[in-house]
């Protein structure tokens, strides 16, 4: 499994997408969403899990002001193993400024992180799981050329 392949494909598609037909242009909505307003999911211990995200990833669960940048929204086939367990219905990908610094920080807290050794045209990737087993992908976008 190549970590980050979904993000790569989605970003590549978003950057190179140009409508092929007039029909596609006519069906393009004039109003669009501005970004992700929240990510909501079930938890066995919501307070403890929110605290883990804040302590380890710096995400304030009340209002997290994120940096502007690309966001991939990519549906996967029901039988994908990309998220890990077949029961896992979602995975979150977080952009990071320095993958090496974030990985070191997480490992210092005894959190297992698997870094993909390959450098892709769109950046570098690593994978970890939160305390409830939810997959998290970290993405350090490639610097603009």
Torsion of CA 63, 9, 134, 36, to 10 degrees: 20
Residue tagged 């393009």 (tokens): 28
Q: Taking the model in full, what pTM does it have?
A: 0.76
Count CB neighbours of 85 within 10 A. 10
What are the structure tokens assigned to 43, written together?
Answer: 């938890």
Residue pair 99/93 in contact by the 8 Å Cβ criterion:
no
What integer pLDDT is reported at residue 12 of this predicted model?
Answer: 52
pLDDT band at 1 (very low <50, low <70, confident <90, very high): very low
Q: DSSP assignment, residue 137?
A: E
Provide the percentage of residues in the chain whose pLDDT is more than 70. 81
- Please say if the pLDDT value at position 51 is more than 70: yes
The Cα–Cα gap between 112 and 98 comes to: 17
Length of the chain: 145
Q: What is the pLDDT of residues 55-80, one digit of tens each?
A: 999 998 888 888 888 888 889 999 99
pLDDT of residue 14: 47
Answer yes or no: is pLDDT of 13 > 50: no
Rounded to the nearest integer, the mean pLDDT of the chain is: 84
Mapped onto helix, strand or coil, the DSSP state of residue 79 is coil
Q: Which residues pair with 94 in a beta bridge?
A: 138
- Residues 6+ positions from 59 with CB-CB distance below 8 Å: 53
Kindly report, residue by residue over 72-117, the tens digit of the pLDDT: 888 999 999 888 888 888 899 999 999 999 999 999 999 999 999 9
Give the separation between CA 116 and CA 124, rounded to whole angstroms: 7
């Amino acid at each position: 499994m190549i970590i980050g392949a979904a993000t790569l494909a989605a970003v590549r598609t978003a950057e190179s997408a140009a409508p092929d037909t007039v029909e596609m242009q006519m069906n393009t909505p004039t109003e669009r969403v501005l970004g992700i307003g929240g990510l909501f999911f079930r938890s066995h211990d919501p307070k403890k899990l929110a605290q883990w995200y804040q302590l380890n990833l710096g995400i304030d669960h009340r209002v997290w002001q994120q940096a502007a940048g690309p966001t991939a929204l990519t549906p996967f086939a029901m039988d994908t193993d990309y998220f890990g367990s077949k029961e896992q219905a979602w995975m979150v990908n977080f952009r990071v400024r320095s993958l090496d610094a974030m990985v070191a920080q997480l490992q210092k807290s005894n959190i297992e992180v698997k870094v993909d050794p390959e450098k892709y045209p769109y950046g570098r990737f690593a994978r970890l799981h939160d305390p409830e087993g939810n997959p998290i992908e970290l993405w350090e976008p490639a610097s603009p050329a």
